[in-house]
Structure 1
Amino acid sequence: MRYLILLMCLVGLCLWPTTLSLKICAFNVQSFGEAKANNKKVMAILTKIIARCDLCLIQEVRDSKGEAIPKLVKNLNKFDKSHSYAHLESKRLGKTTYKEQYVYIYRKDVLEVRDHYSLQEGGSNYTSLFTREPFIIRVHSPSTLVKDLVLVGQHTCPKNAMKEIEELYGVYTEISKKWKTQNVMFLGDLNAACSYITIKGWRAIRLRNDPKFHWLIGDEVDTTVRENTHCAYDRIVVHGKELFHGIVPESAQPFNFKKEFHLAEDEALEVSDHYPVEVDLKPNHRYHLRHEL
Structure 2
Amino acid sequence: MGLLFNKKRRRRSKSRSLLGALPLVRWIGPGLTGGGILATMLGAFTGQIDLPSLDKYRGESPPIEMRPISLRQLGEKSAETIRVATFNIQVFAEAKSNNRTVMQQIAGIVANFDVVAIQEVKSKGVALDRLMEILNQEVPRGGRPHYQAVMSQPLGRTNQKEHYAFVWDDRRIALVPDSQYVVQDGEPNSESDFLHREPMVASFQVRPLPNQTRQPFRFTMINMHTDPDEVRGDSRTNEMNVLDDVFNNIRSWEYSQHGEDDYMLVGDLNVDVPNLGEMGQIPGIASLAGGLTTNTARNKTYDHILIDRYTTQEFIAGRAGVVDFVNDLGVTSEQAKAISDHLPVFAEFSAFEIPPPSPDQSTTNVASRGAAETSGGNRAANRLRR
Query: What TM-score bracket applies, with the shorter chain setting the length?
Result: 0.7 to 0.9
Tell me what 1:141 maps to.
206
Q: Tell me if the contact between 2:217 and 2:352 (Cα under 8 Å) persists in the aligned partners.
A: no
Structure 2: how far apart are the matches of 1:22 and 1:14? 12
Structure 2: how far apart are the matches of 1:234 and 1:127? 26
Superposition map of 1:1-293 within 5 A: 19-20=77-78, 21-64=81-124, 66-78=125-137, 84-114=146-176, 115-120=179-184, 128-143=193-208, 147-162=217-232, 163-180=238-255, 181-193=260-272, 205-219=277-291, 221-226=292-297, 229-239=298-308, 241-243=310-312, 245-284=313-352
The one-letter amino acid paired with 2:225 is: H
SS of aligned partner of 2:315: coil
> How far apart are residue 122 of structure 1 and its match?
10
Q: Tell me if the contact between 1:135 and 1:152 (Cα under 8 Å) persists in the aligned partners.
A: yes
Deviations 1:252-289 (A, max 9, x none): 1111001111111111111001101111112349xxxx
> How far apart are residue 183 of structure 1 and its match?
1.3
The one-letter amino acid paired with 2:175 is: V
Q: Tell me if the contact between 2:82 and 2:349 (Cα under 8 Å) persists in the aligned partners.
A: yes
> How far apart are residue 97 of structure 1 and its match?
0.7
Tell me what 1:288 maps to.
none
Structure 2: how far apart are the matches of 1:127 and 1:46? 37
Higher RCO (CA 8 Å, separation ≥ 6 residues): 2
In structure 2, relative to structure 1, the CA distance for the partners of 1:109 and 1:18 (3 Å cut) is: closer
Structure 1: how far apart are the matches of 2:301 and 2:186? 30
| TM-score for both structures, normalised by structure 2 | 0.62
In structure 2, relative to structure 1, the CA distance for the partners of 1:210 and 1:15 (3 Å cut) is: closer
Tell me what 2:28 maps to.
none
User: How many residues of Structure 1 are paired with residues of Structure 2 in the alignment?
Assistant: 261
In structure 2, relative to structure 1, the CA distance for the partners of 1:15 and 1:183 (3 Å cut) is: closer
| TM-score for both structures, normalised by structure 1 | 0.80
Q: Tell me if the contact between 2:175 and 2:202 (Cα under 8 Å) persists in the aligned partners.
A: yes
Tell me what 2:40 maps to.
none
Q: Give structure 2 stretches of 5+ with no counterpart.
A: 1-55, 63-74, 209-213, 233-237, 354-386
Report the RMSD for the aligned CA atoms in angstroms: 3.0
Structure 2: how far apart are the matches of 1:70 and 1:86? 10
Q: Tell me if the contact between 2:77 and 2:112 (Cα under 8 Å) persists in the aligned partners.
A: no
Q: Tell me if the contact between 2:171 and 2:207 (Cα under 8 Å) persists in the aligned partners.
A: no
| More displaced stretch, 42-51 vs 139-148 | 139-148
Taking every aligned residue pair, what percent have the same amino acid on both sides?
Answer: 25
| More displaced stretch, 173-182 vs 248-257 | 173-182
Larger Rg: 2
Q: Give structure 1 stretches of 5+ with no counterpart.
A: 1-9, 286-293
Structure 2: how far apart are the matches of 1:145 and 1:188? 27
